[in-house]
């Protein structure tokens, strides 16, 4: 019987993943990754209900060093990082691998909606979009071959509502638990409050237009992201958006949507997932944020990263977010938007 270490959060996705793996004949060992925000009782109850092994692993130190501190620094520098993209390859999956190595488990698993296969031609493991409309491959763009060669995603072919129905049919105690939609270490999604709790004192400043004219006052750059429209408190008489954040001047530039369109972006820290690093230009579909929308583009290798040239103008993405490129359903790689 093959052993698999499963990230067991206490939510419906990971609970059903555990049930599916157990029913498929795996020896499942549940691991609750403790970040000091939610208690492990619901995850423990699921493990007891399914009769699988269970332990709590404290990852607070790693999360602080590799996600929380860089996340805060990026926000104060006017960038908008995606903490899940940061956490998965540096904290979450490595923690599961460490447990797997310690107990002699061949595999690890999570409740993510994604697929993995092995390409016999290239010899690489490939990350592929899930059949589900809740595909989460974007969030996994930082994973390497070492992780992909061992990971199982049991929910790849299911829609979320089907998962809930299956969990209810299996009698799982968390079948009706609501989804967690926010950043795990900022459950109220208030970035400004969170950054303030870390000792940073907000510095109010000016909203300005493209010409530098003052439009109003902002309450601190940590409360805003590029592309934001709601909650600005500026009566412009038209739809305006955050187009740029200047931490040196402590200014936030507001623009009309047509002034926020771009034809190209540059990315750094590229992780080649399903393909070997490219030396020549190639075409792909690119996601610049976690959504269902992707854009046709040319990917041009350059020193230190990639230059992505879109076939048509798109709404400017936020610096710090991930740009992820696909060929069909195969996630080829991704990097950080500059």
68 is catalytic: no
Examine the pLDDT at 181 and tell me if it is beyond 70.
no
> By percentage, how much of the chain surpasses pLDDT 70?
100
How far apart (Å, rounded) are the C-alpha atoms in residues 167 and 172?
A: 5
Let me know if 141 is a catalytic residue. no
Alpha-carbon distance 30 to 309, whole Å? 43
Whether 174 is in a domain gets the answer: no
Question: What does the pLDDT average to over 159-174?
Answer: 94
Q: What is the pLDDT of residue 109?
A: 98
Residues 140 and 154 in one domain: yes
**In the prediction, which pLDDT does 58 show?**
98
Q: Are residues 102 and 124 in the same domain?
A: yes
Same domain, 239 and 134: no
Q: Which residue stretches of the chain are H helix?
A: 12-23, 41-50, 60-63, 69-76, 83-87, 93-103, 145-148, 160-169, 191-197
CA 113 to CA 130: how far, in whole Å? Answer: 5
The predicted pLDDT at position 238 comes to 86
Give the other-Cβ count within 10 Å of 197's Cβ. 10
What is the pairing mode between strands 305-315 and 322-327? unpaired
CATH number, position 68: 3.40.50.620
- Kindly state whether residues 207 and 222 are assigned to the same domain: yes
Q: Is residue 180 in some structural domain?
A: no
Asked if the structure places residue 54 within a domain, the reply is yes
In a domain, 135, yes or no: yes
Question: 128 and 93, same structural domain?
Answer: yes
On whether both 59 and 27 belong to a single domain, the answer is yes
d(CA 284, CA 303): 19
Residues 86, 13: one domain? yes
Nearest to 335 by CA among 238, 270, 264: 270
Q: Do the domain assignments include residue 190?
A: no
Mark which of 169, 190, 214 sits at the end of a domain: 169
Residue that terminates a domain, selected from 224, 259, 294? 259
Mean pLDDT of the chain: 95
CATH number at residue 267: 2.40.30.10
Q: What is the DSSP letter of 210?
A: T
Find how far residue 332's CA is from the centre of its chain.
16
Catalytic position from the list 68, 84, 87, 141: 87
Q: Give the SS3 label for residue 120.
A: coil
Per-residue confidence band for 119, with pLDDT thresholds at 50, 70 and 90:
very high
- At 137 the pLDDT is 98
Domain count, the chain: 3
DSSP state letter for 188: T
Residue 182 has pLDDT above 80, yes or no: no
User: Residue 188 is encoded by which pair of tokens?
Assistant: 């109220």
Encoded tokens for 266 = 């540059």
Residues 108 and 39 in one domain: yes
pLDDT bin (cut points 50, 70, 90) of residue 175 is confident
* pLDDT tens-digit readout, 187-206: 998 999 999 999 999 999 99
DSSP string, 272-329: E-SSPPPSS-EEEEEESSSSS--EEEEEEEETTEEEEEEEEEEEPPPTTSEEEEEETT
Position 308 scores a pLDDT of 98
pLDDT score of 75 more than 70? yes
Residues 230 and 306 in one domain: no
**Same domain (yes/no): 7, 78:** yes
Q: Can you read off the two tokens belonging to residue 45? A: 């109850």
215 and 316 fall within a common domain = no
Within a domain: residue 161?
Answer: yes
Q: Are 116 and 157 in contact (CB under 8 A)?
A: no
Q: Is the pLDDT of residue 1 over 90?
A: no
Give me the helix-helix angle, 41-50 and 12-23, nearest 10°. Answer: 20
Is 183 domain-assigned? no
Residues with Cβ within 8 Å of 286's Cβ and at least 6 positions away in sequence, in order, are 294, 295, 296, 297, 299, 308, 310, 323, 324, 325, 326
Determine which of 49-53, 138-142, 232-236 has the lowest per-residue pLDDT on average. 232-236
Structural domain boundaries, residue 299: 261-337
Q: Residue range 288-308: average pLDDT? A: 96
pLDDT band at 132; cut points 50, 70, 90: confident
Residue finishing a domain among 122, 153, 169: 169
CATH at residue 236: 2.30.30.280
Is 182 domain-assigned?
A: no
- Rounded average pLDDT over 155-175: 94
pTM of the full structure: 0.94
Residues 277, 246 share a domain: no
Alpha-carbon Rg of the chain, whole angstroms?
21
């Amino acid at each position: 019987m093959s052993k698999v270490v499963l990230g067991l959060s206490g939510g419906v996705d990971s609970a059903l993943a555990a049930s599916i793996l157990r029913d498929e004949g795996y020896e499942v060992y549940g691991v609750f990754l403790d970040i000091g925000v939610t208690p492990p009782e619901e995850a423990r109850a699921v493990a007891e209900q399914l009769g699988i092994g269970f332990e709590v692993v404290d990852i607070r130190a790693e999360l602080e060093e590799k996600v929380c501190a860089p996340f805060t620094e990026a926000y104060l520098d006017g960038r908008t990082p995606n903490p899940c993209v940061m956490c998965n390859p540096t904290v979450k999956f490595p923690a599961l691998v460490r447990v797997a190595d310690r107990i002699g488990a061949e595999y690890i698993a999570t409740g993510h909606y994604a697929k993995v296969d092995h390409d016999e031609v290239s010899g690489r493991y490939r990350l592929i979009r899930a059949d589900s409309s809740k595909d989460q491959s974007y969030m996994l763009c930082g994973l390497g071959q070492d992780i992909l060669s061992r990971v199982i995603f049991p929910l790849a072919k299911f829609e979320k509502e089907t998962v809930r129905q299956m969990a209810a049919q299996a009698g799982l105690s968390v079948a009706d638990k609501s989804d967690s939609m926010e950043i795990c270490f900022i459950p109220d999604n208030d970035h400004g409050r969170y950054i303030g709790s870390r000792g940073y004192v907000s510095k109010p400043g000016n909203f300005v237009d493209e010409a530098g004219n003052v439009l109003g006052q902002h309450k601190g750059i940590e409360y805003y992201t590029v592309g934001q429209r709601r909650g600005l408190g500026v009566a412009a008489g038209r739809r305006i958006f955050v187009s740029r954040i200047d931490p040196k001047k402590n200014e936030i530039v507001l623009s009309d949507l047509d002034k926020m369109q771009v034809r190209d972006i540059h990315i750094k820290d590229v992780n080649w997932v399903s393909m070997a690093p490219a030396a020549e230009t190639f075409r792909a579909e690119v996601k610049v944020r976690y959504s269902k929308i992707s854009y046709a583009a040319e990917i041009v290798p350059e020193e230190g990263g990639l230059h992505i040239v879109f076939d048509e103008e798109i709404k400017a993405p936020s610096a710090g977010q991930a740009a992820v490129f696909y060929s069909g359903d195969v996630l080829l790689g991704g990097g950080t938007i500059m």
